[in-house]
Amino acid sequence: MKKKRWLKWSLISVVILIVIGVFGATLYMYQYAFVPGQKSFLNNGKPSKFYRDNQKWLAKADKVKWYQKSATDDLKLDAIYVPAAKKTTKTIVVAHGYMGYKEDMARYIHLYHDLGYNVLAPDDRGSGESEGDYIGYGWPDRLDYVKWIKQVIAKNGQDSQIALFGVSMGGATVMYTAGEKLPKQVKAVIEDCGYSSISGELAYQLNDLFGLPKFPLFYTTNLMARVRAGYNFSEGDATKSLAKSKLPIMLIHGAKDKFVPTKMVYENYKAANAPKQLWVVPDAGHGEALAKQPTAYRNKVAKFLDQYWEK
């Protein structure tokens, strides 16, 4: 009898220890992946001269601050608006990457400004100067971008023409946004190295960084994200959004991307249910396409957009 009782309590103790261990690991993973802050795995060394030069350009460029409240939880969101040198109805809304902020997009803001467009660059929830204590991976943020689009139209007029552009997480953000009901003024989307789903990217990183399978931490972390951040990251699937979207899309990806695997761009391209164009850049890693081929990048995005602007 004593032996059975001992065995029972031993099993209960093991279960309790496992639960505590999983809970602790889940807290760690949520902090690691969802809470804004410095991340050791994103340390890419000293910024390049190309990056620094564009940061200097943006610091001196004429720009104004725009604000709005988030679509779902009343957070104050911040953006910068860089008007074109010559008045135009055409505006590019750019979305930054994971743990990034609007000024990180200086090289892209510069590119589109030089092409003659107005540029709006928001800080996502929990990023830059915007409020929030979690990273949305583009999914809740997509609803904020719908509001940014409407603000462009309200301020620049009903004759506005708008295109969406994003890199990495920002690429996923604009693909998610494309799947929403958007004003007719939105004409096209360009995404650079965005993932095909939040689930796919997080499962890939869980294995790549920690050598762990999806079960159980992937699922327990999703549960914690639903409780603390208020969204289910399993819903963030760019392929489903692209299947619904009727917007023309250009998809760009580095052939040597190890952060968002290159295979994901082919999944997104296959899913897109509208006029589409694919450019996989040889020898480019994650987010390196513009730096590797600046002239070709500029020419290709300009040519793509020219097809869809109203003359």
Closest CA to 169 of 131, 132, 123: 123
Closest CA to 116 of 156, 83, 145, 158: 83
The rounded distance, in Å, linking the Cα atoms of 142 and 179 is 9
**Domain residue spans of the chain:** 49-306
Whole-number pLDDT of residue 8: 56
pLDDT at 136 over 90: yes
Tokens 């809970």 belong to residue: 23
Q: Does domain 49-306 have CATH number 3.30.43.10?
A: no
Q: Quickly list DSSP for 258-303.
A: TTTTTHHHHHHHHH--SSEEEEEETT--TT-HHHHSHHHHHHHHHH
pLDDT tens-digit profile of 196-239?
999 999 999 999 999 999 989 999 999 999 999 999 999 999 99
pLDDT tens-digit profile of 19-59?
577 788 899 999 999 999 877 667 666 888 999 999 999 99
pLDDT tens-digit profile of 273-284?
999 999 999 999
Instruction: Give the residues across from 94 on adjacent strands.
Output: 165
The rounded distance, in Å, linking the Cα atoms of 31 and 100 is 17
pLDDT tens-digit profile of 86-104?
999 999 999 999 999 999 9
Mean pLDDT, the chain, integer: 93
